[in-house]
Structure 1
């Protein structure tokens, strides 16, 4: 059985993503969903504090991370098997229904912490499939030459959601308590569903030739020579994986639909694909090191630093705001320019310079200097993160993009948060300065990896 490769339909040739109605509908759906997420977590934390002790509330807030971390690799398989658009729509529908159900129950009763914990677990399970699908979706709504700009637009959406979500959540709590805030979150998530339904999908272009060739991947990943299920797949217009018979003819070859394999086999094939890719494998290592060195100091470490230096809550707020402004400026730059030359080298340099700024933050003399350093950290971290995200999008074969996003997300959302309690304990033992410097070294190692691997260092974004 054969499939037909359809021409792109999402945008007219040469139209930039920020002027493409199809991309803007996707961006509107993504923004509404992210704002709803922020409102949801405000409502969840408030309801948990009102229903139990601070330690119980902390447990409720943390419980969603467990299924998300454990199931995200499987979520990448689901996104690649069923298509990211279908998975994102289904995930948002489930999240919306769950939140509105809890809101209705809270309007008529006080079920207690068990209901909140159950809701958090449901969110964690759904996020495990939602996040890989979200990462795989941009390649199907725009061309490869616009993926870097879309990454910048996505970064701006995240910053806007973080800024707008907290006040909206607080407003919902002030107007009608947790039930009203949950209802507001559910309605915001619901807005994303019809917008996503209206988004048109396009046939994603193969990334063969950027990094590992199809022949290289086959030779590295195959269980046995000539096994057709180990040949990297493309997708047809429905999002179903379809086999490229040879790979040397590139995107023009008409793919054939392979026999369906097991989910476990799909997962193993995805991991082998990443391991054998000359750009993706070191890129994910660099992202992991950057996140592990960044998350602890810029979250719990910053609060402890502000307390030790006597900056107060207002001083810490200024530092956090400066970081957000820098990250937003980096996202705006990429959204405006659409691409940057020598993306691999630029991302590595930004990661290295950002690590130096992280180490310097613990030694600045006052809050004014800390604001300036935090602005630089935000700009550099935002630039390296956006470039790494764009390279993930453009270097991955479309049929593997959900699994690639899942592996990268495991580090950012599963492993990196574990560094926060370790950072707090280490600061208690050795102080802020040594811990910030050690974290900066870990972060800088990501830049060293990126500069040390030739194919990643020379990686470029499509123009």
Structure 2
């Protein structure tokens, strides 16, 4: 089932949006993401039905703990066993868990414990799934198409957000939480045969990307990961399957902890990846609070109501979708590092301005601008991660980026809520915008990141 079909790394590929191989991967990803959206609707509904609001909140939050604690280890697993194997295995586990809970809810009323267990299982699997999903595009397309693939991935996420919520709500209305969990499991299951049919390729190591870590620390990191020596892209993780590293030779086996340390040393020593991680972290920390809990409190303060907040969120979604569509159509933007830095800076100004707009219509326009700039900078940063990282480290690089975005950045939400309660929305939005803007400053001030380009 998980046998590897390797396409030649040097083959001239079609544009990603016309490549059947990429489209199969995109269909698998979209189906899995829609299944995730339906799962969260089902979990929240079932938790509210089975317990108190506080207990329901605890069930919804419990998956974040294993996700944050195990994310770095998930990157090691993705690099050791190959991203497609890991994604297929993760989807099989999530499908089985969702269908099991659906059957349990259909047959009996077990209370909160199976829901909490399911949340823990999903959080644990997500810690492995997310780094593998991030590393997979480099194995299904050529380097010059990765920016376009990032745009296509963004469109798939928007599609899942738009379709998943109503679909989950319809399933709950027709058959309760059991039907919604069953639908989520089936949607996730659809991705498995699609992923099996995707042809994998050996990602080429770009000379410029490899040079980004060209110092003694990077050489130490490479040796710590299995004695790569002078063979860029050599298999470093002791995995017999060529999918695991996209390489042609195998060096001495290492321990998972050694691989993790080597990956962190590699990122720290890389002249583009290290400042890029810092820029992503600052941008996310300044973005997540205001655009989540902060927007809710702002809408309540201004009297916009739930419908007004929904329109503002829709504006953000349209802007982010437009940015994804732009990259899908264009495929590449020149001066990627420069554009990403300015997009982060301009987006931070828009975030700060959101707290001072006079009405809902103006807020929708500002939110559309925030979504456009955040979507553009996020896609460019993701594409730079894909193209700058050595393929042998891509799972661990993605894991660090995911940990920053999904593990640390959400911590800003309770802090933002507490700060708004103490000082009001205006100062907190401005402060968050300043933190976000620092990410753009880093991107523009570090020469190697500012000059980073996407292959074309």
Within 2, Cα distance between the matches of 1:167 and 1:453? Answer: 44
Residues 220 and 272, structure 1, Cα contact 8 Å, conserved in 2: no
C-alpha displacement at 1:68, in angstroms? 0.3
Does structure 1 residue 88 correspond to structure 2 residue 79?
no
Q: Which runs of 5+ in 1 are unaligned?
A: 244-254
Does structure 1 residue 293 correspond to structure 2 residue 297?
no
What are the Cα deviations for residues 278-315 of structure 1, in whole angstroms up to 9, with x where unaligned? 00000010000000000000000001000000111111
Corresponding residue number in structure 2 for 1:310? 303
Aligned length: 447
Within 2, Cα distance between the matches of 1:378 and 1:37? Answer: 22
Residues 242 and 258, structure 1, Cα contact 8 Å, conserved in 2: no
Q: After TM superposition, where is structure 1 displaced by more than 3 Å over at least 4 residues in a row?
A: 211-215, 217-220, 222-227, 229-237, 240-243
Within 2, Cα distance between the matches of 1:437 and 1:376? Answer: 16
Alignment of 1:263-282 (within 5 A): 263-282=256-275
C-alpha displacement at 1:13, in angstroms? 1.9
Within 1, Cα distance between the matches of 2:283 and 2:388? Answer: 19
TM-score for both structures, normalised by structure 1:
0.93
Distance 1:75 1:219, change over 3 A: closer
Within 1, Cα distance between the matches of 2:38 and 2:249? Answer: 45
Residues 103 and 182, structure 1, Cα contact 8 Å, conserved in 2: yes
C-alpha displacement at 1:233, in angstroms? 4.1
Residues 220 and 276, structure 1, Cα contact 8 Å, conserved in 2: no
Within 1, Cα distance between the matches of 2:371 and 2:357? Answer: 16
Corresponding residue number in structure 1 for 2:391? 398
Corresponding residue number in structure 2 for 1:8? 8
Corresponding residue number in structure 2 for 1:191? 190
Does structure 1 residue 348 correspond to structure 2 residue 341?
yes
Alignment of 1:361-440 (within 5 A): 361-440=354-433
Corresponding residue number in structure 2 for 1:44? 43
Residues 203 and 237, structure 1, Cα contact 8 Å, conserved in 2: no
Distance 1:217 1:79, change over 3 A: farther
C-alpha displacement at 1:216, in angstroms? 2.6
Question: What is the root-mean-square deviation of aligned Cα atoms in Å?
Answer: 2.0
Within 2, Cα distance between the matches of 1:89 and 1:286? Answer: 31
C-alpha displacement at 1:42, in angstroms? 0.2
Does structure 1 residue 452 correspond to structure 2 residue 445?
yes
Residues 208 and 214, structure 1, Cα contact 8 Å, conserved in 2: no
Does structure 1 residue 240 correspond to structure 2 residue 233?
no
What are the Cα deviations for residues 238-288 of structure 1, in whole angstroms up to 9, with x where unaligned? 223477xxxxxxxxxxx5311110000000000000000000000010000
Within 1, Cα distance between the matches of 2:174 and 2:229? Answer: 56
Residues 211 and 279, structure 1, Cα contact 8 Å, conserved in 2: no
Corresponding residue number in structure 1 for 2:315? 322
Residues 205 and 233, structure 2, Cα contact 8 Å, conserved in 1: no
Corresponding residue number in structure 1 for 2:135? 136
Within 2, Cα distance between the matches of 1:226 and 1:371? Answer: 48
Corresponding residue number in structure 2 for 1:250? none
Paired residue secondary structure (2:250) = coil
C-alpha displacement at 1:222, in angstroms? 4.6
Within 2, Cα distance between the matches of 1:226 and 1:194? Answer: 33
Q: Which runs of 5+ in 2 are unaligned?
A: none
Distance 1:152 1:302, change over 3 A: same
C-alpha displacement at 1:368, in angstroms? 1.0
C-alpha displacement at 1:97, in angstroms? 0.4
Alignment of 1:213-232 (within 5 A): 213=212, 215-216=214-215, 219=218, 221-222=220-221, 228=227
Paired residue secondary structure (1:318) = helix
Within 1, Cα distance between the matches of 2:443 and 2:255? Answer: 34
Distance 1:6 1:275, change over 3 A: same
Paired residue secondary structure (1:239) = helix
Distance 1:367 1:439, change over 3 A: same
Corresponding residue number in structure 1 for 2:115? 116
Residues 297 and 439, structure 1, Cα contact 8 Å, conserved in 2: yes
C-alpha displacement at 1:225, in angstroms? 10
C-alpha displacement at 1:234, in angstroms? 3.6
Within 2, Cα distance between the matches of 1:355 and 1:230? Answer: 42
Residues 209 and 390, structure 2, Cα contact 8 Å, conserved in 1: no
Within 2, Cα distance between the matches of 1:133 and 1:226? Answer: 18
